[in-house]
Structures are given as structure tokens and as C-alpha cells.
Amino acid sequence: MTTEKRLAQFPDVPTISESGLPGFFFNSWLAILAPAGTPKSIVARLNAEVLKAVGDPEIRRKLEELGFAVRAARQRSCVP
């Protein structure tokens, strides 16, 4: 496990830090992006649908079974 703490899904799998490299961790993340200039209404709808999906207990359960730690964020813009 490259995370800072053991995952609830894999409680018996030690982290790399626990396995002899103290302080080591690596996290990755996934994002859904849209091209620059996408209308704000489309971005808002996409954001709402993704939040609804990851809020669904069955989808969340499946993602967690696959080892994901689901932490959905609200819509953010990298461009003013």
C-alpha cells in the first residue's frame, strides 16, 4: 500500500512506510475534465451527475471494492 494509512478494504496489507521505508507514501487521483470554453451549464450538469453517481451507495461500494477512496469534490475551475 502506498497510502499513508492502511485502507479499510485491505486491513492486513501493510503500507510501504510500515514495511521499512518510513515516511513513504504516494497517492494518485482521478478527475473528470472538460475542454476550455465548455458552457458553465454543461460543467455544472456534469459535476452534479458525477456527485450523484459517487453518492449512490452501490456505485460507492463498487469503487471501494476496487480500492478507491472516494472523495468527491465540488466543481472547481482552473481558469477564471
What are the extents of the domains in the chain? 1-27, 31-80
Cα–Cα distance between 72 and 24 in angstroms, integer? 25
CB 15 within 8 A of CB 4: yes
The grid coordinates listed for 62 are: 463498487
How far apart CA 59 and CA 80 sit, in angstroms, is 32
Q: What is the pTM of this model?
A: 0.61
**For residue 24, how many other CB atoms are within 10 A of its CB?**
13
Question: Per residue of the chain (80 residues), what is the pLDDT tens digit?
Answer: 888 888 888 899 999 999 999 988 887 788 888 999 999 999 989 988 988 998 899 998 998 888 787 876 665 655 54
